[in-house]
């Protein structure tokens, strides 16, 4: 009775009828003076979760039924990582040797029961840097989990810990092999390697990227072209840069989306760089109206000049030293990678070809003499 008729709630209970009080007392006694919610049957059959049992417990701080579901779920996680796997759901709030795992969870200033609200879980993660919390909602009708996207601030929530996420979605597809799931967005991947690559830049549910890669001085602060197989032999390149300004848009894009501002080109600069000779035409600068149309017209004129230069044919200069260096090369002059060839095998084949040519030549000569 003490859990219901607290001193500060006397006025509330005075206004209630005897029947309402009896119903409240009966409901509390049936719960064992706690607020434990049993695991739904379809979810329990999967045996992929641990449900902390707080039935019959009283919170000594509030003198009310124990409602620290989230503390129990996180405490179960830490205990499970240390190898405590036997009946964790029933023992997490009662066993003395598991109490340190509950105390390890920092929930200072977090309301209990804990509402589903992004700022609250961000605060929990700041106090507990070893964990990252993702909340999933279980649909008993379809027996599938789904991410909780709506904020449920005023709703009373009960939390369980998912010890085997793969098991929850094992039968979602016809492929019953092992699924590699992302703990943040719950997407499945065919292999662990693709999962690791995804997790490095997972955006979760609209949150910022999980990992930001910045260049390290002296390690990866220099980018170099490496895809040599996709190279194009370009005689020259045109390098251009635009500057733009903002103006208020005149149109509204659809019923819900409003264009806040619109950019327009107000100036540009370009140059033509010749690869073989190193010559540069320009730079050419333009500031004024209709910058885009002016750029297109000028590029058309430049293309005419470029084609006039390319129309002049030059004889290739190839000396014997270049031929010898090409024949003896064992690595690529661009990427410095070694050729995957066996020079000894090539020499053997060349000798064999020479032998067969001489044999064929002698055979033709003997045939002519015989005739």
More confident residue, 250 or 41: 41
d(C-alpha 26, C-alpha 11), whole Å = 20
Q: Which structure tokens are listed for 169?
A: 């979605």
pLDDT tens for 10-42 read 444 445 555 555 555 455 444 444 455 677 777
Nearest CA to 44 out of 143, 142, 137, 135 is that of 143
> Model confidence at 78, in pLDDT bands (50, 70, 90)?
confident
Question: Quick check: 94 pLDDT over 80?
Answer: no
Q: Do residue 147 and residue 277 come from a single domain?
A: no
Q: Do residue 288 and residue 163 come from a single domain?
A: no
Q: Do residue 123 and residue 198 come from a single domain?
A: no
* Residue 344 in domain: no
Question: Do residues 283 and 239 lie in contact, with contact meaning Cβ atoms separated by under 8 Å?
Answer: no
* Residue 321 in domain: no
| Per-residue model confidence (pLDDT) at position 91 | 64
Q: Do residue 155 and residue 189 come from a single domain?
A: no
DSSP assignments along 234-278, one per residue: -SEEEEEEEEEEEE--S---TTT-----EEEEEEEEEEEEETTT-
Beta-bridge partners for 287? 267
Q: Distance between terminal CA atoms of the chain?
A: 127
* Residue 303 in domain: yes
Q: Do residue 85 and residue 32 come from a single domain?
A: yes
* Residue 134 in domain: yes
* Residue 328 in domain: no
Range(s) of the domain holding residue 192: 178-209
Q: Do residue 61 and residue 106 come from a single domain?
A: yes
* SS3 category, 123: helix
Q: Do residue 164 and residue 196 come from a single domain?
A: no
Beta-bridge partners for 138? 145
pTM: 0.39
Average pLDDT over residues 348-369: 78
DSSP assignments along 158-216, one per residue: ---EES-HHHHTTTSSS--S--EE-TTT--EESSHHHHHHHHTT--TTT---S------
* Residue 275 in domain: yes
More confident residue, 183 or 101: 101
Question: Quick check: 279 pLDDT over 80?
Answer: yes
Q: Do residue 164 and residue 186 come from a single domain?
A: no
Q: Which of 5-9, 115-119, 202-206, 241-245 has the lowest mean pLDDT?
A: 5-9
Greatest mean pLDDT among 26-30, 94-98, 279-283: 279-283
Q: Which of 10-24, 145-159, 303-317, 341-355 has the lowest mean pLDDT?
A: 10-24
| Per-residue model confidence (pLDDT) at position 106 | 80
Last residue of some domain: 274, 292, 310? 310
| Per-residue model confidence (pLDDT) at position 302 | 95
d(C-alpha 79, C-alpha 52), whole Å = 12
Last residue of some domain: 172, 197, 217? 172
Q: In the chain, how many domains are there? A: 3
Q: Do residue 114 and residue 147 come from a single domain?
A: yes
Q: Do residue 196 and residue 137 come from a single domain?
A: no
| Per-residue model confidence (pLDDT) at position 271 | 96
d(C-alpha 130, C-alpha 97), whole Å = 21
* Residue 358 in domain: no
DSSP assignments along 11-74, one per residue: HHHHTS-HHHHHHHHHHHHHTTTS---PPPHHHHHHT-EE----TT-EETTTTEE---HHHHHH
Q: Do residue 125 and residue 67 come from a single domain?
A: yes
* Residue 364 in domain: no
For the CA atoms of 159, 160, 166, 172, what is the dihedral angle to 10 degrees?
Answer: -60
Q: Do residue 38 and residue 143 come from a single domain?
A: yes
């Amino acid at each position: 009775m003490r859990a219901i008729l607290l001193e500060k709630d006397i006025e509330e209970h005075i206004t209630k009828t005897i029947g309402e009080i009896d119903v409240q007392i009966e409901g509390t006694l049936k719960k064992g003076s706690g607020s434990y919610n049993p695991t739904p049957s379809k979810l329990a059959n999967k045996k992929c979760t641990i449900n902390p049992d707080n039935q019959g417990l009283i919170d000594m701080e509030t003198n009310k039924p124990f409602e620290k579901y989230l503390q129990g779920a996180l405490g179960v996680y830490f205990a499970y990582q240390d190898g405590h796997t036997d009946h964790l759901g029933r023992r997490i709030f009662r066993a003395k040797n598991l109490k340190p795992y509950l105390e390890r969870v920092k929930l200072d200033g977090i309301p209990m029961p804990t509402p589903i609200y992004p700022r609250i879980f961000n605060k929990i993660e700041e106090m507990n840097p070893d964990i990252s919390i993702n909340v999933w909602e279980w649909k008993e009708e379809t027996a599938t989990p789904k991410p909780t996207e709506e904020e449920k601030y005023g709703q009373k929530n009960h939390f369980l810990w998912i010890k085997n996420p793969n098991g929850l979605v094992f039968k979602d597809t016809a492929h019953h092999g092992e699924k590699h799931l992302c703990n943040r967005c719950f997407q499945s991947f065919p292999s662990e390697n693709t999962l690791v690559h995804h997790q490095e830049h997972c955006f979760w549910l609209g949150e910022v990227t999980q990992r930001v890669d910045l260049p390290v001085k002296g390690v990866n602060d220099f980018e170099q072209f490496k895809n040599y197989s996709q190279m194009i032999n370009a005689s020259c390149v045109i390098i251009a840069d635009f500057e733009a300004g903002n103006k208020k848009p005149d149109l509204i894009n659809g019923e819900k989306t409003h264009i806040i501002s619109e950019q327009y080109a107000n100036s540009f600069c370009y140059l033509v760089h010749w690869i073989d000779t190193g010559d540069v035409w320009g730079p050419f600068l333009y500031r004024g109206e209709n910058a885009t149309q002016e750029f297109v017209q000028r590029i058309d004129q430049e293309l005419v000049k470029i084609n006039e230069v390319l129309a002049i044919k030059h004889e290739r200069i190839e000396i014997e030293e270049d031929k010898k260096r090409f024949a003896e090369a064992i690595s690529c002059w661009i990427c410095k990678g070694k050729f995957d060839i066996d020079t000894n095998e090539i020499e053997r084949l060349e000798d064999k070809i020479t032998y067969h040519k001489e044999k064929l030549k002698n055979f033709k000569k003997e045939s002519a003499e015989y005739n």
